[in-house]
Amino acid sequence: MEPTMLEAGLYLIPCQLSDGPLDGVLPAHNVEIVRGIQHFVVESLRSARRFLKKCDRNIDIDALTMHELNEHTDLTDTAAIEALLDPIGRGEAVGVISDAGCPAVADPGADLVAIAQRRGYKVVPLVGPSSILLSLMASGFNGQRFAFEGYLPVDGQARQARLKEMLRRIERERQTQIFIEAPYRNNQLITDLVQHLPSRLRLCVASDITGERQSIVTRTLAEWKHATLDYHKVPTIFLLYQ
């Protein structure tokens, strides 16, 4: 099949969060878009190649240009980063693929998008799985006001201060608080929340989202106090609300 002729622009291509068939979490349209792109900016070459092969096993990966952009990239080398978008100036499409989930949301890519916006290029976000959005939907918490806070501070005092501020925003603003932790500290985080926050608060622990062992459980902190915690090293996201 001939690849689709795409408008010039930056295409943000979500990737799976876990193994399993692509059509479990990605619209068929995304695969059509992927087939029409020759230039990619990816979080890691290895993951991106695997994803592209899964989109279309006949894809000729060697015919594509692929550049890595991740936490090791020297973002001060703006010329090199700007150059990643040059194909768009020539009327071509550039695709961004992160290792898991949606580019530029709790993932690299936002700097590149910012440059594309500054240049007035078209930016096209595609639909795909986001652990933030999926866990919020399934938590039963306020979806009219919410905040994603990224990682909580590791340090005792800064962590305490952040928890206190999160509590304030739950109570005064009815704002659902969403955050993550290094996976090997997941169980400890739950223990910390139980210890330092009012036991009436509800905590949603969402782990292995879209995976075979997906578990999204909302309980009060009083209930979590007596739960068996087996989230060690499992990708997990946390949500708090009253």
* Contact string 19-58 vs its own copies (x = CB under 8 A): --x-xxxxxxx-----------------------------
Q: Looking at 43-51, 77-85, 153-161, 213-221, which segment touches its own copies (CB under 8 A)?
A: 213-221
Applying CB under 8 A, which of residues 64, 66, 217, 234 lies at the interface with its own copies?
217
Give the C-alpha separation, 132 to 111, whole Å. Answer: 20
Applying CB under 8 A, which of residues 45, 75, 80, 137 lies at the interface with its own copies?
137
Applying CB under 8 A, which of residues 40, 146, 224, 231 lies at the interface with its own copies?
146
- The single-letter code of the amino acid at 146 is F
Tokens of 191: 């223990």
Q: 56-75: which residues touch its own copies (CB under 8 A)?
A: none
Give the C-alpha separation, 132 to 169, whole Å. Answer: 18
User: Minimum CB separation from its own copies for residue 76, in Å?
Assistant: 18
CA distances from 62 to 4, 39, 59, 164 (A): 19, 11, 9, 52
The closest of 207, 183, 47, 212 to 134, measured between CA atoms, is 207
Cα dihedral sign, 5-48-10-237: positive
List interacting residues with its own copies (CB under 8 A): 12, 21, 23-29, 102-107, 109-111, 113-118, 123-125, 127-130, 132-150, 175, 204, 210, 214, 216-219
